[in-house]
Amino acid sequence: MIELKSSKSKSKFMEHVGVASWFRRLCNAQSDFAAKERIVWVDIEGVSLNAWTRSTFQKISSKWEELVELEDGYDDLFARKHICIKTSQTENILESFKLIVKGKVFWARAKELFVWSPSFKDC
């Protein structure tokens, strides 16, 4: 949901070509709307160095449904990785789980990060 301060701002926003490219559809708020899925960033800790691969993070993300994006950069920092996932799970993600790598069991942790809320200014 995007809330704007005036109907003039709303009209400009909804008619803007660039803005329209970000969304499938723009419409007025509807009281019966309920999102079936959400996009969230999750902080993953405890992944063993010998399992630090895209495949591992895809497998981890499948716990909640679908990997959208892996945080880019800082791959020399192996303490944690941020993954962006699409999920229909309504509760915040906060859990520990087993990760088996070459027969060894490791415990990893997942914690959902704060929500990103864009802020638009009238021009």
Task: Give the pTM.
Answer: 0.71
pLDDT at res. 41: 93
User: 27: closest CA among 64, 1, 62, 65?
Assistant: 1
Q: Per-residue pLDDT tens for 35-49? A: 899 999 999 999 988
Answer yes or no: are the C-beta atoms of 44 and 83 closer than 8 Å: yes
Strand runs labelled E in the chain? 38-45, 65-70, 80-87, 94-101, 104-112
Give the pLDDT confidence of 65-117 residue by residue, as tens digits.
Answer: 999 999 876 556 788 899 999 999 999 999 999 999 889 999 999 999 986 65
